[in-house]
Amino acid sequence: MDQAIAQFLQDVETQRLARLRDARLGTRVLALKHYQQRRFARSYADLLATPRYADTARFFLEELYGPRDYSERDAQFARVVPTLVRLFPRDVVGTVHDLAELHALSERLDTAMAANLGQDSVDAAAYARAWQTVGEPQARARQIELTLAVGRALEHYTRKPLLRQALRMMRGPAAAAGMGELQRFLETGFDTFRAMKGADEFLACVSEREQALAAALFAPGAPARAAGCPAGDDPLGQLP
C-alpha cells in the first residue's frame, strides 16, 4: 500500500510541475479551484447553515474542495510514506490511501479542465463546457466514490472510542515524522464527524447532489437534483 500512496503523490507532483511550467495553466487551475469551492458552498448552503452539519460541511469545503496549496504537506508525505504505514493503524492507512488517490485524481481532472477552459476566469458556462470537453464519466464517478469513502471512514472511526485516544497519543510521533498535517486532518475529521452524531443523511446528500451535478453536466437537461435528501441550491446556477 505504501507504493500506491507514493505513486499517487508522485502523480500530484507531476500535475504541479506542469502548472509551474505553464503559468497560464496554473492561473486557470487556481481559478477553477476557487469556482469549485464556491459551487460547493452554494450547493450545500443549507447544510452549512445547519448546526448539526455545518462543521462537517465546512470540513469538506476546506479540506476536499478548497484551493489550498498542499505542496508542503504532499512533500512531507512522500518522504515518510513507509513510516506512515508503520506508525498508523491499518484502517487509517487505508483512508490515507483513498485520500491520496482522490487528491491525485482531482488534480489530474483539474489540470485537464483548466487546459480546456479557453479563458482565465471561470463561470458556470465555462465550467460546464470544460467538464463536457474533458468528459471521463468513470473518473468523475470514482472521484465521488472516494470522497464518500473518506467520509464513511471518518464516520466509522467515531465508533472506536480508543482510536481518538490513539490519535491524540500519536501527535508527537507524527509531528516528529513530518506528518503533522495528516495528523491534523485526521483529528479534525474525527472530531467533526463525532460531533455530528450520525453521518448517514449528510453523506447521502453529498452522494445524491454530486451525482446529480455530474448527470446534469454530462447530459444537459437532466435533473440537477436528486430525491432523498433536502434540496440544495441549483448547482448549475450562475455564480459570481
What are the 10-residue block averages of pLDDT along the chain, 240 residues in total? 85 92 95 92 92 92 76 70 77 86 94 93 90 93 94 86 73 74 80 89 93 85 45 50
Measured CA to CA, the distance from residue 225 to residue 25 in angstroms comes to 32
Measured CA to CA, the distance from residue 68 to residue 216 in angstroms comes to 27
Measured CA to CA, the distance from residue 138 to residue 9 in angstroms comes to 21
Confidence (pLDDT) at 220: 61
Q: Give this prediction's pTM.
A: 0.85
What angle (nearest 5°) sits at the alpha carbon of residue 232, between those of residues 230 and 238? 165
In 3-state terms, what secondary structure has residue 31?
Answer: helix
The one-letter code for the residue type at 55 is D
Q: Nearest CA to 231 among 219, 223, 220, 239? A: 223
Confidence (pLDDT) at 221: 52
Length of the chain: 240
Other beta carbons less than 10 A from residue 38's beta carbon: 15
Confidence (pLDDT) at 229: 55
Tell me which residue has cell 467533526.
Answer: 192
Q: Which residues of 133-168 are buried (b: 16+ CB within 10 A; e: fewer)?
A: ebebeeebebbbebbbbbbbbbbebbeeeebbeebe
Measured CA to CA, the distance from residue 97 to residue 94 in angstroms comes to 5
Confidence (pLDDT) at 201: 92
